[in-house]
Amino acid sequence: MGSETPNDKTPYDSERAAIEEHAQRTAEQTALRKVRKTLDRIEESEAGERRALKYVLVLCALLAALGVWFFWGLLFGGSEMPKQAPLKIPATLPQKQ
């Protein structure tokens, strides 16, 4: 009564099914393109962050090397402070007249 068999399909039903399939495929492709664009933007952003991090790390390493070189020169540099001759303390104070 109310049930249709595969043989009861009309040309309109098959055409409608084809249109629905095409619309479904189009919607899926559009969604996939949007996802791909979003992933591409995320990858570009992460690549930029990695480059920036690399430059920051190189700068930190250079500053650390410069600091080590500076303090090494201060501690072990060849320019020592001039040594003064030891003070001679007299055994007695000179008498004023």
Taking only the tens place, the pLDDT of each residue in 82-95 is 677 888 887 787 77
Rg (CA), the chain: 43
Model confidence pLDDT, tens digit, residues 21-53: 999 999 999 999 999 999 999 999 999 999 999
> pLDDT-based confidence at 74, cuts 50/70/90?
confident
Which residue is listed with tokens 């040309």?
Answer: 11
